[in-house]
Amino acid sequence: MAEHTKRIPVQHIVGFVLSIALTLLAVWAALGSNLSTTWIIVSIMVLAVIQAGIQLFMFMHMTESESRSGHVPWNMMFHGFVLAAIVVAGSLFTMSFGHDHNGGEHHQQEQLEQHEQHSGH
């Protein structure tokens, strides 16, 4: 119980500093770095997951042994996050696989242009 009576909440301060640093790093990666768009998206999503982990483990006492009911909360959160990943990735996959609306027309135009160039020669 000693950890609950400590005067200075070291864990919270470390978590706070880390989360601020991770946010700034994500902003820098997105707006200030020369990475390609794909790598920006991958890296800032990884940073977001790390930051969510900091919130859950350092702020929300997720692994606290006091909940003696035998269920550790991270079970629920893990299931929630797995379902979230399946819903988001699954929707994206189903809705955009095979016919990419964003790049689709553009791509066709490019092919047409290439075709015209070829026939011009």
Partner 1 sequence: MSSHELKSGPLEYRTEQGQMNILGFWIFLGAEIVLFATLFATYAVLFGRTADAPLPGELFEPGIVLIMTFMLLTSSFTCGIAIHEMRRGSVKGLTTWLIITLLLGLGFLGFEIYEFIHYAHEGATLQSSAFWSSFFVLAGTHGLHVTLGIGWAILLLLQLAKRGLTPVTSRKVFIISLYWHFLDVVWIFIFTSVYLIGMVV
Interacting residue ranges for partner 1, rule: CB under 8 A: 1, 4-5, 7, 9, 12, 15-16, 19-20, 23, 26-27, 30-31, 37, 40-41, 44-45, 47-48, 51-52, 55-56, 59-60, 66-69, 71, 73, 76-77, 79-81, 83-85, 87-88, 90-92, 95-96, 101-102
CB of 98 to partner 1, least distance (A): 14
How close are the terminal C-alpha atoms of the chain, in Å?
A: 82
Residue 64 or residue 116: which is nearer to partner 1 going by CB?
64
Indicate the residue among 5 and 117 with the shorter CB distance to partner 1. Answer: 5
Q: Looking at beta carbons, which pairs linking 2-8 to residues 24 or more positions away fall under 8 Å?
A: none
For partner 1, which is the closer residue by CB, 67 or 114?
67
- 8 Å CB contact between 58 and 11: yes
Q: Spell out the residues 6+ positions from residue 74 whose beta carbon is closer than 8 angstroms to its own.
A: 56, 62, 63
Q: Least separation, in Å, of the C-beta of 8 and partner 1?
A: 9
Task: Please say which residue, 6 or 121, places its beta carbon nearer to partner 1.
Answer: 6
Helix runs in 1-121, H state only: 2-5, 10-27, 37-54, 74-96, 101-120
